Chain A
Amino acid sequence: MEVSFNLNGEKVKCKINPTISLLELLREEMGLTGTKPGCNEGECGACTVLIDGISVNACLYPAINIHGKELVTIEGLVTAEGKLDEVQQAMVKHGAVQCGFCTSGMVMNIKAMQRNLEHAHHVPGENIRVQPDRKNIMKWLEGNLCRCTGYVKIIDAAEEVLNKNKI
């Protein structure tokens, strides 16, 4: 069957097998391998993407449900000129990347928190704005496992970005 959706700012249409996950669609069909397969059971967060601004484990998300939605993956964060997103920049600067396998998912989930901060009050059903203090950041990132960094630098990077434009 055919789905059409917005992928990283561009309208796309594709024919898919209705049984595949969004992770499979991205990695196997579309060649977008930046989203990582860590467990395929929704436990590790390595495959986190943004669907209509909310972080989702792509491995648990049926690809057909993406129809009509707005999807942002790690590939969508770098500008056309090759400039890194501010979350990516902060991750590099703070030394928050070691093996890097969890990094895409971490970045996307920090983006989700940033978006929550900016837009929570506009979104029905998502009207709780989470304050970007250290404790809330740690809680927010709970669904993204990392084996290398001990999380400290990732939390540092998130804290810097999320508090940059404090209202």
Chain B
Amino acid sequence: MAKKNLKIIGTPVPKHDAKIRVTGEAVYGHDIKLPGMLYGAILRTEHPHATFTIDVSAAKKLPGVICVITADDVDTNNISYKRDHPILKKEEVNCIRDEIAAVAAETKEIAEKALKLIKVKYKIKKGIYEPLDALKSGAPLINKFSSGKFEHKNIAEKFYYEHGNIEEQRKKSMVVVKRTFTLPRMTHACLGTSNITAHYNKTTGKLLLYSSTQVPFLYQRDMAHALKMNPSDIRIIQPVIGGGFGSKLDMYPFEPICALLSIKTGRPVQILYSRHEEFLASPTRQPMTIEIEAGADKDGNFTFRDVNVIKDNGAYTSWGATTPFVIMQAFSSLYTLPACRFSATAIYTNNVFAGSFRGYGNPQATFALERVIDLLADKLGMDKAQIRIKNANRPGETTGQGLFFETCGHQDCLQTVIKKAGKKRKSENNRYRRGMGYASMIHVGGGAKIYRSDGCGTTIKIDPYGYCTIISGSNEIGQGSETVLAMIAAEELGISLDKIKVINTDTDIKPWDVGVHASRTSFVAGNSLLGAIRILKEKLNLKAGELLQEKSTSFNYEDGFIKTKSKQIALDKVVREMHFTLPNELAIASYFYEPSSQFQDKGFKGNVSGTYAFASQAIEVEVDTYTGNVRVLTVHVAQDVGKVLNPLLLDGQIHGGVLQGVGYALTEELIFKEGYLLNPNFHNYKLLTAADTPDIHFYPVETHDKQGPYGAKGVGEAPLIPTAAAIANAVCDALQIEMLELPITPERVLVALKNKNNK
């Protein structure tokens, strides 16, 4: 049981590792330089769909080129979630990212020159770029490694879920709304581009990888499968990571390619993506169309949702294909709902494949759902705030999908933002129109049991000088998990923060953990650390009791001392006595925490997370009806975080998430034409800047969930999930228009206005 009177938890402790990041001392993958290191580069196809022949002989002859590989030179297994992705493509390419050769050379310049010397002859084929075209009769097989287990060979993955009686609920409905929404490809645009440094040792047969993966243990296994190696012969060290947001959940071909170049040459090899390559070849959020029909009865109670999602899978299947796990949760369980039917189909195309991105399908689902709620309210003539409050989830609710909300701040969140936002300000004149939009979200807040384990291991030790080392399975990708872990140890052990070290970057050392995803790290790694501390304290208490001649085992850990009401002994002294006197024990403990969540059954029912997070946003916008430009004025965010562990870092997650959500709503889209990427740079892919930051007001809602460390829930993904939905609702409110797709560009606003005026 964690401590009650908290001194450190809940305070704005600056990031544990901020100093090395603010001085330029942090070592990112880009900064690694090993003795004898070669530079790797990848040749990608020039066309999205073609057959090809390749001749690398001229590249091999270039002085300084050490190794050139094509599919013919390697013996590997396919990678990806469905194992349908060859690392190097042979004879045929299926999307514009496809890797067809790779080079290792003494310098970057030589490597790049060598790529230009590779002669490729393409025979361009007509590709399929619309998912539904891939299901037409006569459509060619896009991925020859397709499992073929569905009714059409071009279907990569399918999900079906239902609860309640849709037909009965349809009859009860006074209003029904049906719409189809289209969601774009947004990309993570991490400031640090993708990178890897591989070092294979020929004599030991061991492979060392400096990798920015978010999921090192799954990655180790995937890499071993790809290279036909033993996972334990692969050691993953994570340098400082220049942004994750889900982009590093999958393993991509460039990573085993780099390993192969090192295996072939016996020298360290590094591959760094250029920004162009990052836009082209790193993942995206899933593009999809969402067809939704939803109803409400005469009093505004939601009755049913019937949802069909078509996802563009691209040429290969990434974890992104599994986002319907999360998408269906939003449709089945956000606001109380008697009946839901949901189907999702991921269809192969010759487009690039998506990966996982903060929110994991939820921003798409929430956009569609919250737009439809506004339309239902309009049809009923109901207030848009009131219809949401009326239907909001409540504590104690078990949803049709089996999610159990022991605590639930949905009502509080909604009421808070509605009250704080107040009424929208009056539009100043006819040109600039103001609008207010609301949206909520539900997301897992206590991990997500989608692997065999959703656990995390921790080892904690105290040294003879009273310093503490936490060896955590979890990892830091910038979000601040190290800081939260250090705070927990400081709180529970009475050790000052500057004496706490967190070791979390090496698979040879740290215990197992699923990885950074599903907003799980503070929750799962925090609980794991608390478990390890409990065991460690049992040992320390015994020794302290012996030394203090105290029978009680109830001690306070404060300011480096172990105390009773009348006696105290320095913690470091207790540790020394443990080490150096009989029975000579280490002050060390390990614990593996597994959340209490359940696996879902075949119908996707079950309580999949330890707890659930809720959030609501109220956003006011101003639209220029002459130019179509949307300006976000104010964002009010209320989020059920369970308990605030560190308000400074929490604010950072909220602000950063919201701005990513604003980008999703208004500016960000990778534009493809017939499989070619048209905007692979920051000039044409519009990331928001400091000048675009709206006023963000954040109100944490604390529901003190007993499952969480100190009552905390996961927070990382939630802030961006409802943002695009609330902005779309605000724009539609301002102009009384329909908005069926994102991003809401000036052009789309003007087209919608024109359509409205033509009616």
Chain A residue at minimal CB-CB distance from B655: A150
Residues of A within 8 A of B648 (CB): 94-95
Instruction: Report if A148-B12 is in contact (Cβ < 8 Å); known contacts: A36-B192, A44-B191, A84-B23.
Output: no
Q: Residues of A contacting B478 with CB < 8 Å? A: 98-100, 148
8 Å CB interface, B620-668 against A: 648-649, 651-652, 654-660
CA distance A142 to B244 in the complex (A): 22
* A92, B18: Cβ atoms closer than 8 Å: yes
Indicate if the CB atoms of A149 and B655 lie closer than 8 Å.
yes
A101 to B477: give the CA distance in the assembly, Å: 11
Q: Which of A40, A41, A84, A150 contacts B19 (CB 8 A)?
A: A84
B12-30 contact mask (Cβ, 8 Å, vs A): 1 or 0: 1011001101111111101
Q: Which of A61-69, A116-124, A151-159 contacts B (4 or more CB under 8 A)?
A: A151-159
B438-492 with Cβ < 8 A to chain A: 477-480
Contact of A95 with B14 in the complex, beta carbons under 8 Å: yes
Query: Contact at A38–B192, with CB atoms within 8 Å?
Result: yes
Question: Which A residues are CB-close (under 8 A) to B656?
Answer: 98, 147-150
Partner of A92, one of B15, B683, B693: B15
Q: Are B659 and A39 in contact (CB under 8 A)?
A: no
Chain A, residues 115-152, CB within 8 Å of chain B (1/0): the string is 00000000000000000000001110111111111111
Report the separation of the CA atoms of residues A4 and B274 in the bound assembly, to the nearest whole angstrom.
30
Q: Is B120 an interface residue (CB 8 A)?
A: no
Of A33, A103, A142, which one neighbours B21 at CB under 8 angstroms? Answer: A103
Tell me the nearest residue of chain A to B635, going by C-beta. Answer: A150
Given that A150-B659, A152-B696, A154-B690 are known contacts, is A74 also in contact with B24, CB under 8 Å in the complex?
A: yes
The answer to whether A95 touches B652, judged by C-beta atoms less than 8 angstroms apart, is yes
Do B658 and A95 touch across chains, with their CB atoms under 8 A apart? no
Q: Does B47 contact A (CB under 8 A)?
A: no
- Name A151's contact: one of B24, B30, B690 (CB within 8 Å): B690
A41-53 interface mask toward B, CB cutoff 8 Å, 1 = contact, 0 = none?
A: 1011010000000
Given B191, B245, B480, which contacts A101 in the complex, CB threshold below 8 Å? B191
Q: How far is the CA of A54 from the CA of B245 in the complex (A)?
A: 33
Counted as pairs of residues, one from A and one from B, with CB atoms less than 8 Å apart, the total is: 173
- Whether a CB of chain B sits under 8 angstroms from the CB of A71 is no
Q: How far is the CB of B439 from chain A (nearest CB, A)?
A: 18
Which 7 residue pairs of A and B lie closest in terms of their CB atoms, listed nearest first?
A34-B24, A100-B21, A99-B478, A150-B655, A101-B242, A43-B682, A150-B659
- Interface membership of B155, Cβ < 8 A: no
B206 contacts partner chain A, Cβ-Cβ < 8 Å: no
Q: Name, among A27, A40, A142, A152, the residue most crowded by chain B CB atoms within 10 Å (CB to CB).
A: A152
What distance in Å separates the Cβ of A47 from its nearest Cβ neighbour in chain B? 11
A3 contact set on B, CB distance < 8 A: none
Which A residue sits closest to B272, measured CB to CB?
Answer: A37
Residues A147 and B243 in contact, CB atoms below 8 Å apart: yes
The reply to whether A149 and B22 form a contact with Cβ atoms under 8 Å apart is no
The closest CB in chain B to the CB of A93 belongs to: B14
**How far is the CB of B176 from the nearest CB of chain A, in Å?**
38
A25 to B518, CA, bound (A): 41
Most A CB within 10 A of own CB, among B240, B242, B245, B480: B242
Q: Scan residues 662-711 of chain B and give those whose CB is less than 8 A from a CB of chain A.
A: 681-683, 687, 689-691, 693, 696
B31 sits at the interface (CB 8 A): yes
Could you say which of A40, A94, A98, A104 has the most chain B C-beta atoms within 10 Å of its C-beta? Answer: A98
Q: Which of A99, A141, A144 contacts B242 (CB 8 A)?
A: A99
20 of the cross-chain contacts (CB-CB < 8 Å) are A36-B24, A36-B30, A38-B191, A44-B275, A74-B23, A95-B648, A95-B652, A97-B18, A99-B244, A99-B477, A101-B28, A101-B192, A139-B690, A141-B689, A146-B191, A147-B189, A149-B655, A149-B656, A150-B657, A153-B652
- Kindly state the separation between the CA atoms of A38 and B747 in the bound complex, as whole angstroms: 30
- Known interface pairs A145-B191, A147-B188; A92-B22 also in contact (CB < 8 Å): yes
B682 touches A98 (CB 8 A): no
Residue of B with least CB distance to A78: B23
Residues of A within 8 A of B15 (CB): 92, 95, 97-98
Q: Across the interface, do A77 and B191 meet the contact criterion of CB distance under 8 Å?
A: no
Return chain A residues, CB-CB under 8 Å to B191: 36, 38, 44, 46, 99, 101-102, 145-148
Q: Which residues of A contact B (CB under 8 A)?
A: 27, 32-41, 43-44, 46, 73-75, 77-78, 84, 88, 91-95, 97-104, 107, 137-139, 141-155
Q: Are B655 and A77 in contact (CB under 8 A)?
A: no
Chain A residue at minimum C-beta to C-beta distance from B23: A78
Count residues of B near A (Cβ-Cβ below 8 Å). 54
A100 lies within 8 A of B22 (CB): yes
Q: Which residues of A contact B275 (CB under 8 A)?
A: 38-41, 43-44
8 A Cβ contacts from B529-569 to A: none
B241 beta carbon closer than 8 Å to chain A: yes
- Contact B658–A150 (Cβ < 8 Å): yes
Among A77, A92, A97, find the residue whose CB has the most chain B CB atoms closer than 10 A: A97
Apart from A43-B681, A43-B683, A75-B24, list 6 A-B contacts with CB within 8 A.
Answer: A36-B28, A99-B244, A138-B690, A139-B691, A141-B691, A150-B654
Query: Do A97 and B190 touch across chains, with their CB atoms under 8 A apart?
Result: no
For residue A61, give the distance in angstroms from its CB to the closest CB of chain B: 17
Contacts of B689 in A (CB 8 A): 141-145, 151
State which of A36, A95, A99 has its C-beta within 8 Å of the C-beta of B649.
A95
CB distance from B189 to the nearest CB of A (A): 6
Complex CA gap A60/B478 in Å reads: 28
A142-B652 in contact given A34-B24, A103-B22 (Cβ < 8 Å): no
Report the Cα distance A142→B687, complex, angstroms. 11
B189 cross-chain contacts in A, Cβ below 8 A: 145, 147
* Nearest CB of chain A from residue B80's CB, rounded to whole Å: 25
Contact between A153 and B655 (Cβ–Cβ < 8 Å)? yes
B240 touches A100 (CB 8 A): yes
- Please provide the chain B residues from 265 to 320 with a CB less than 8 Å away from any CB of chain A in the complex: 272, 274-275
**In whole angstroms, how far apart are the Cα atoms of A41 and B277 in the complex?**
13
A129 shortest CB reach to chain B, Å: 19
CB distance from B639 to the nearest CB of A (A): 14
Q: Select one of A43, A148, A152 contacting B693, CB under 8 A.
A: A152
Question: Residue A153 contacts which of B242, B272, B651, B687 (CB distance < 8 angstroms)?
Answer: B651
CB under 8 Å from chain A, chain B span 224-268 = 240-245
Which residues in A have their C-beta under 8 angstroms from that of B654?
Answer: 150
Q: With A and B bound together, what is the CA distance between A138 and B690 in angstroms?
A: 5
| Complex Cα gap A59–B312 (Å) | 36
Chain B hits for A137, CB < 8 A? 690
Interface centre among A32, A88, A100, by most chain B C-beta atoms within 10 angstroms, is A100
Determine how close the nearest CB of chain A comes to the CB of B474; give it in whole angstroms: 16
- Are B687 and A92 touching (Cβ within 8 A)? no
- Beta-carbon contact of A141 and B690 below 8 Å: yes
Please determine whether B22 and A155 come into contact, CB atoms closer than 8 angstroms.
no
Which residues in chain B, 89-103, are within 8 Å of chain A measured between CB atoms?
none
A33-B30 in contact (CB<8A): yes
Report yes or no: B31 in contact with A33, Cβ–Cβ below 8 A.
yes
B693 surroundings in chain A (CB, below 8 A): 138, 150-152, 155
**A44 to B242, alpha carbons, bound, how many Å?**
13
- The reply to whether B274 and A147 contact each other, CB–CB distance below 8 Å, is no
C-alpha spacing A137/B689, complex, angstroms: 12
Please name the residue on chain B nearest to A39 by beta carbon.
B275
Q: Are A147 and B25 in contact (CB under 8 A)?
A: no
CA–CA, A151 and B660, complex, Å: 11
Is the Cβ of B651 less than 8 Å from the Cβ of A152? yes
Q: Taking CB as reference atom, which chain B residue is nearest A24?
A: B108
**Chain B 27-38 against A: per-residue CB contact (8 Å), 1 yes, 0 no?**
110110000000
